[in-house]
C-alpha cells in the first residue's frame, strides 16, 4: 500500500510538472511576441508562426506517439518527450533569427506531443476510476497555474532579462521533471504491448494533418495555402479509408463511430479551443500595441483568467466524479460563450475593470468545462486505449489551437496587412480583434450543443477498466 501511495504521489508530481511546462511557455511567449518582433524586425504574420509552428508539430505527432506509447510503454515515450522539450528550450533561448526560433519551436512541439500523448494516460493507469476526476482536476489546475504564472513571470523576465530568459527558465523546470521521472516512476504502463505498430497510418496521419493545418494557417498569406489545404484533406481521407482496413490501427476510428461520449467530448474540446486559445495572443497585442502597456503590466492584467482556472479546476474535477460531467462542462461552455460575446464590444476606451471581470468570467467557464470534459473522454474507453484517448483529446486541443491562431492570422492579414507590428494602426488592430471575438463567440455557442449531445458513458465500461 505504501509503495502504491508513493507511486501515485510521484506520478502525479511528474505529470503535473510536465503539464505545467507547455502552458507556461505558451502564455509567457505570448507576452514576449512584441519584444521578439522588435529584436528580429519581424512582421505580425511571421511572429504568429512562433506559436503556430509549435502547435502544428504537437498536433501532428500526438496520436502516433500516443499509440506507440501504448505498445512500447508510456514511461519511455514520456521521458523521451521531456528530453526533447528540454533540449529544444535551450536552443530556442539561443535562437539567432525568428526563422531559427520557429524551427526550434517545431522540435519543442514534437517533445510536447510525446508528453501529452502519455501524461494523462499514465495518470489514468495509476489512479482508480473513483479518484480519476479529482486527479485530472489537479492536473488541469497545474496547466492553469502554468497559464497564470506565464504572463506574470514571462512579462517580468521579458521586461528585465529579455525574452530568452523565458526559455532558459523552462529548461530548468524540464530538468527537474526529467530527473523525477527517471528516478521515481517504476512502471511502463503498456496497455497494448505486443500489438503491431501501424507505421503507414502514422505517416499518413502526420503528413495529412500538417498539410491541412498549414493550409488553414497560410490560406490568407500564401497562394499555395488552398492547395495545401485540399492536399491535406485528401491525405486525411486516404488515412481514414486505410485505418478502417487495418487490424491494429494507429487511431481506432470505431471509438468515434460506436462511442458517442468519446466522439462528442472530443468535438466539444476542439470547438472550445478553437474559440478560446487565441484570446491571450489577441489581448497581449491589444494591451501592448493599442493601450501602450509594457509586457509586465499586460501580464498582470491577463493573470486574472488563469488564476480562476487554477483555483476552480480541482473543484470542477471532483464535481464531475459525483455529477454528470456533460452537465458541468456544458455550463462551462455557456459561461465561456458569454465572456467571448462581451469582448465583441472591445475598443480603445473599454474600462480596464470590465476587462478584468470578463477575464474572470472566461476563466470560470473554462475551468468548469475542461477537467469534467477530460474525465468524460478518459472514462469512456477501455484501458488499452488510454494512450490513444489521451492523445486524441490532445490532438483536438492542439488542432483547435491551430485553427484559433489561423483565424487570427487571417484576420490580421485582412485588417492590418503585412506590416511591422510596431507600425500596425491601432484602430485596424482593434477592428480585427473585435471580428475575431465575434467568430469565437459563434463557435463557442455551437460547442454548447456538442457538449450536451454526448449522452452518458457506455454501460459496463467502469467495470472493464477496474479489471
DSSP assignment of 206-222 equals: HHHHHHHHHHHHHTTT-
pLDDT (0 to 100) of residue 361? 93
- 43 bridge partner residues: 420
Looking up cell 521521458 gives 79
Cβ–Cβ under 8 Å, residues 210 and 53 = no
**Cell triple for 332:** 462551462
Q: Where are the alpha helices (DSSP H) in 323-416?
A: 325-343, 352-378, 386-415
**Cell triple for 7:** 507511486
pLDDT (0 to 100) of residue 437? 92
List of residues 6+ apart from 452 with CB closer than 8 A: 326, 330
pLDDT (0 to 100) of residue 414? 78
Q: What does pTM read for this prediction? A: 0.73
Cβ–Cβ under 8 Å, residues 87 and 168 = no
pLDDT (0 to 100) of residue 467? 39
List of residues 6+ apart from 161 with CB closer than 8 A: none
d(C-alpha 140, C-alpha 117), whole Å: 15
Q: Please list the rounded mean pLDDT of every run of 10 residues in the chain (467 residues).
A: 68 81 77 78 73 79 81 81 89 85 88 79 73 74 74 78 84 87 71 74 86 74 77 89 82 77 87 86 81 76 78 78 78 92 85 89 88 79 71 77 79 70 69 89 90 63 42
Amino acid at each position: 500500500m505504501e509503495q502504491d501511495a508513493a507511486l501515485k504521489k510521484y506520478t502525479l508530481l511528474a505529470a503535473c510538472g510536465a503539464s505545467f511546462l507547455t502552458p507556461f511557455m505558451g502564455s509567457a511567449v505570448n507576452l514576449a511576441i512584441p519584444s521578439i518582433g522588435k529584436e528580429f524586425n519581424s512582421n505580425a504574420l511571421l511572429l504568429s508562426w512562433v506559436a503556430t509552428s509549435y502547435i502544428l508539430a504537437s498536433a501532428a505527432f500526438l496520436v502516433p506517439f500516443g499509440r506507440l506509447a501504448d505498445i512500447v510503454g508510456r514511461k519511455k515515450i514520456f521521458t523521451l518527450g521531456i528530453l526533447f522539450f528540454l533540449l529544444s528550450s535551450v536552443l530556442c533561448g539561443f535562437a539567432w533569427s525568428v526563422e531559427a526560433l520557429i524551427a526550434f519551436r517545431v522540435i519543442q512541439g514534437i517533445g510536447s506531443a510525446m508528453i501529452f500523448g502519455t501524461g494523462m494516460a499514465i495518470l489514468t493507469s495509476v489512479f482508480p476510476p473513483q479518484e480519476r476526476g479529482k486527479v485530472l482536476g489537479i492536473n488541469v489546475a497545474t496547466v492553469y497555474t502554468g497559464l497564470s504564472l506565464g504572463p506574470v513571470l514571462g512579462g517580468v523576465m521579458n521586461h528585465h532579462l529579455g525574452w530568452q530568459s523565458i526559455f532558459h527558465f523552462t529548461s530548468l523546470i524540464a530538468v527537474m521533471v526529467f530527473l523525477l521521472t527517471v528516478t521515481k516512476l517504476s512502471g511502463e504502463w503498456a496497455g497494448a504491448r505486443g500489438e503491431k505498430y501501424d507505421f503507414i497510418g502514422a505517416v499518413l496521419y502526420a503528413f495529412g494533418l500538417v498539410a491541412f493545418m498549414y493550409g488553414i494557417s497560410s490560406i490568407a498569406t500564401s497562394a499555395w495555402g488552398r492547395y495545401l489545404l485540399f492536399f491535406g484533406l485528401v491525405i486525411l481521407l486516404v488515412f481514414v479509408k486505410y485505418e478502417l482496413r487495418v487490424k491494429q490501427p494507429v487511431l481506432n476510428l470505431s471509438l468515434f463511430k460506436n462511442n458517442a461520449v468519446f466522439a462528442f467530448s472530443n468535438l466539444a474540446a476542439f470547438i472550445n479551443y478553437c474559440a478560446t486559445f487565441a484570446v491571450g495572443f489577441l489581448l497581449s497585442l491589444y494591451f501592448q500595441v493599442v493601450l501602450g502597456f509594457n509586457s509586465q503590466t499586460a501580464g498582470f492584467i491577463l493573470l486574472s483568467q488563469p488564476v480562476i482556472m487554477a483555483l476552480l479546476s480541482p473543484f470542477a474535477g471532483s464535481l464531475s466524479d459525483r455529477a454528470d460531467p456533460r452537465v458541468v462542462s456544458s455550463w462551462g461552455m455557456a459561461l465561456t460563450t458569454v465572456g467571448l460575446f462581451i469582448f465583441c464590444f472591445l475598443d480603445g476606451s473599454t474600462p480596464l475593470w470590465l476587462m478584468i471581470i470578463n477575464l474572470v468570467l472566461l476563466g470560470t467557464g473554462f475551468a468548469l468545462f475542461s477537467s469534467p470534459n477530460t474525465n468524460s473522454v478518459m472514462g469512456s474507453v477501455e484501458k488499452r486505449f488510454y494512450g490513444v484517448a489521451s492523445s486524441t483529446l490532445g490532438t483536438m486541443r492542439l488542432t483547435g489551437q491551430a485553427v484559433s491562431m489561423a483565424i487570427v492570422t487571417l484576420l490580421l492579414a485582412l485588417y492590418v496587412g503585412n506590416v511591422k507590428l510596431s507600425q500596425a494602426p491601432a484602430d485596424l488592430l482593434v477592428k480585427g480583434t473585435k471580428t475575431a471575438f465575434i467568430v469565437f463567440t459563434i463557435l463557442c455557442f455551437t460547442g454548447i450543443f456538442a457538449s450536451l449531445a454526448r449522452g452518458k458513458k457506455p454501460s459496463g465500461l467502469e467495470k472493464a477498466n477496474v479489471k
